[in-house]
Amino acid sequence: MKITRVKAHPMSMKLDKVYWTSRAPWGTYNTIVVEVETDEGITGIGTINKTPLKDIADITDSLEPVIKGMDALAHEAVWDRIFNLTVPHIEQGQTNVTRPIFDQNKRVFIMAALAGIDLALWDIKGKALKLPMWRLLGGNRREVPAYASGGYYEEGRSPLAVIDEMAGYAAQGYTAVKMKCGGANIEGDIARISGVRKAIGDKASLMIDANGAYTLRDAERAIKAFEPYDIFWFEEPLHWYDATRGLGRLAACTNVPLASGESEIHFNAVRDQIDLGGIRYVQWDCTRAGGLTEGLRIAAYAMAHGVQIAYHHDPQIHGHLMAAQPHGYCVESFPSVPRDPFWHQVLTQKPKLEAGKLTLDDEPGFGIDIDWKMVERWKI
Ligand SMILES: [Mg+2]
């Protein structure tokens, strides 16, 4: 089965309001749907959850001639060919260069394009074999725990509105919830976190996500202040430039498990966060870089080091991996309809998400289908 076509569909959906993480506003849901077609009539669908949309979509489309004619089931060979574009080997004076040459600063875009293409190839594999991904990967359970993610600093609302929001998820039946931190000063966040803990009760798990808000010194102070509220994990606490050894120093001064990985773009970075950063949960995102192929390598490394995987975002992709891995802990889900229009409006076929539980079905591949009218409506 040969690859015949690669097409990226970038789309940007305006959200109902502006959501703030610790330091950055977020008012649009941006994603790229990738189609890979084959000469046997099977089309695979992948998604890329990464910006800038146009640059990544253009690079994805430009990879068509690079992989056209390759075996669509040979995902490792395709992965290798695309990845090698990030480490070009061109001799001086060589004139027969047939592959595109990208600047170093395009590496992150190539890794994102690779994610979308790789996921589409896995989708093709599942469709060709008529197997849902969770079974293709060797899973024997179709249900995966899901936690409710939210708790942003929303424009026009009190920072304490998070208390009612989290209590609402708990009332729906979620036994694990996640909220943002680091967008207020420590006293302000103590008020939010302590209020949420009181509202959701002692038994529910409470994760906090700083989105890289703190210096090491500030993160140490913050986690000491938050520890009394029984924090399940402390996610991406440190500024990006210190998110390896700095994590290791932070891990040594708190009993709260650290979680990280969603911002990394290759295996080696996550390996170092496990080896040197002391993280206890890996949050790799197969839709941001490297695809499922890289996600499986990371899962294997995590297992060998006693670290659990709780991959970031996109439960329609990561739910399959969690179901197939003994150390797959849970998937992230966004119960808020306005916060996640892709899940709630664009995906017309997907796993079933109920409070605290994602149930996978027997549709082949990732088992997703797309409302193409929405893709057209929101295309950039
Ligand atoms: Mg996060």
What average pLDDT does the segment 134-157 reach? 94
C-alpha 134 – ligand 1 centre gap (Å): 24
C-alpha 365 – ligand 1 centre gap (Å): 26
C-alpha 46 – ligand 1 centre gap (Å): 21
d(C-alpha 263, C-alpha 265), whole Å: 7
Using a pLDDT cut of 90, give the percent of the chain over it. 91
- Give the per-residue pLDDT at 23: 83
What average pLDDT does the segment 25-48 reach? 97
C-alpha 20 – ligand 1 centre gap (Å): 12
Among the residue ranges 17-21, 86-90, 130-134, the one predicted with the least confidence is 86-90
C-alpha 179 – ligand 1 centre gap (Å): 9
Q: Please say whether the beta carbons of 182 and 23 come within 8 A.
A: yes
C-alpha 360 – ligand 1 centre gap (Å): 23
C-alpha 183 – ligand 1 centre gap (Å): 13
As a dihedral over the C-alpha atoms of residue 114, residue 147, residue 337, residue 202, rounded to 10 degrees, the angle is: -150
CA count, 13 A, side-chain hemisphere, 287: 23
C-alpha 323 – ligand 1 centre gap (Å): 21
C-alpha 25 – ligand 1 centre gap (Å): 14
C-alpha 199 – ligand 1 centre gap (Å): 22
- Give the per-residue pLDDT at 104: 86
C-alpha 211 – ligand 1 centre gap (Å): 6
C-alpha 310 – ligand 1 centre gap (Å): 11
Q: How far apart are the first and last CA of the chain?
A: 32
Q: What is the SS3 string spanning 183-246?
A: CCCHHHHHHHHHHHHHHHCCCCEEEEECCCCECHHHHHHHHHHHHHHCEEEEECCECHHHCCHH
Sketch out the chain's domains with CATH numbers: 3-131 (3.30.390.10), 135-371 (3.20.20.120)
- Give the per-residue pLDDT at 99: 77
Give yes or no for residue 106 having a pLDDT over 80. yes
C-alpha 178 – ligand 1 centre gap (Å): 9
- Chain centre distance of CA 95: 40
Confidence of residue 240 (pLDDT cuts 50, 70, 90): very high
d(C-alpha 220, C-alpha 129), whole Å: 50
What average pLDDT does the segment 145-160 reach? 92
Give yes or no for residue 292 having a pLDDT over 80. yes
C-alpha 175 – ligand 1 centre gap (Å): 18
C-alpha 332 – ligand 1 centre gap (Å): 9
Give yes or no for residue 103 having a pLDDT over 90. no
Q: Please say whether the beta carbons of 4 and 37 come within 8 A.
A: yes
C-alpha radius of gyration, the chain, whole number: 21
C-alpha 220 – ligand 1 centre gap (Å): 19
Instruction: Give kind and range of the element (H or E) at residue 156.
Output: none
Among the residue ranges 83-97, 236-250, 275-289, the one predicted with the least confidence is 83-97
C-alpha 331 – ligand 1 centre gap (Å): 12
C-alpha 286 – ligand 1 centre gap (Å): 14
d(C-alpha 43, C-alpha 364), whole Å: 12
- Helix, strand or coil, per DSSP, at residue 84: helix
Instruction: Considering only residues 338 and 33, tell me which one the structure prediction assigns the higher pLDDT.
Output: 33
What is the average pLDDT score of the chain?
A: 96
C-alpha 366 – ligand 1 centre gap (Å): 23
| Cβ burial, residue 7 (10 Å; 0-12/13-18/19+) | middle
C-alpha 283 – ligand 1 centre gap (Å): 8
DSSP state, residue 257: P
C-alpha 312 – ligand 1 centre gap (Å): 7
C-alpha 314 – ligand 1 centre gap (Å): 12
